[in-house]
Amino acid sequence: MRFVQLKGLRKRSQQVYLGWIRQLADFYPKSSVHRIGKTKVLDFLVHLQHDRKLAPSTLNQAVCSLRTFYRDHLGRDWDIWKKITIKRTEPLPHVLTRAEVSGLLDTFRDGRYRAYFTVVYQCGLRMSEALAIKPKHVDGQRLVIRIVEGKGGWQREVPITAELLQRLRVFWKSHRNPHWLFPGTGRGWNKTCGIPLREAMHQSRHPMTKVSVWAAMKAARTQCGLAHTHQKVTIHTLRHSFATHMLEGGTSVRQVAAYLGHRSLKPTMVYLHLTELSEQQARNSLETLANS
């Protein structure tokens, strides 16, 4: 446990790493994980791949966790790490059109959720990044929001428009919570509890929960008709849509990667392919018009 903490990993990553070590221990209940040899570790990984049929990304988590434990912590630089092949077949992310995004955002009647999902889309944020925004993170002079809860602990700044800044100021003034831009309402609050929503938000010491924004998205996509599409619309779909729309608008790949918090250009390049699909669809539509 102490070794994982000293590696500077975030709490979630620590839990994942330790979780795979516990699973290995459970797989060999009569052996100490410190005494398990490389053959047994390889057999465990093969079990995960062939018997449990884990997704490539999950299997990679297991390999990284066990490799860190045995190679970096115990000094056992085995050759087994190269003997298991992980083939990643990542599907293209689902992207909404600008009209679909507009329709989805218009569906939110609760000001909290409309403000939250607008920021997620216009800034290309992950769900947890937006929830962690505090009033002090919004720089009205420079028109940027500082993201302090980025993936891997990385911080970055994303630009906002003057219009979005004004909308966020109006929203914040509606609750004036000193701690969070998107405060929760506290456990057990509802419309009949006798405390106004504004007061509940003002007093809250915590941001909105992931469960609450998931529920809001589920209700909104049903109401606006997106629940019947062949691909599921999630909160992360807004981030995918932001990236694709920015590239379609002429923003460079490098700049979009910086806005998304990607440490390399590779994950951002996926969205270029989506813009190519959009262009092909446009060409097909033009051909239809020409033949009509």
Catalytic: which of 112, 114, 126, 221? 126
Catalytic: which of 112, 175, 239, 245? 239
- 277-287 burial by CB neighbour count: b if 16+ within 10 A, else e? ebeeeeeeeee
Q: Is 151 a catalytic residue?
A: yes
Q: Is 262 a catalytic residue?
A: yes
d(CA 119, CA 268): 20
Q: Is 7 a catalytic residue?
A: no
Phi, psi of 160 (to 5 degrees): -135, 160
Catalytic: which of 112, 221, 240, 262? 262
Q: Is 236 a catalytic residue?
A: yes
Tokens representing 292 are 């009509």
Q: Please count the residues of the chain.
A: 292
CA distances from 31 to 69, 225, 263 (A): 16, 54, 40
Type of residue found at 154: W
CB 44 within 8 A of CB 24: yes
Q: Is 271 a catalytic residue?
A: yes
Beta strand spans in the chain (E): 138-139, 144-147, 156-159
Residue owning tokens 């002079």:
141
d(CA 80, CA 49): 14
Q: Is 273 a catalytic residue?
A: no
Catalytic: which of 151, 156, 206, 218? 151
d(CA 190, CA 197): 8
Query: Which residues participate in catalysis according to the annotation?
Result: 126, 151, 236, 239, 262, 271
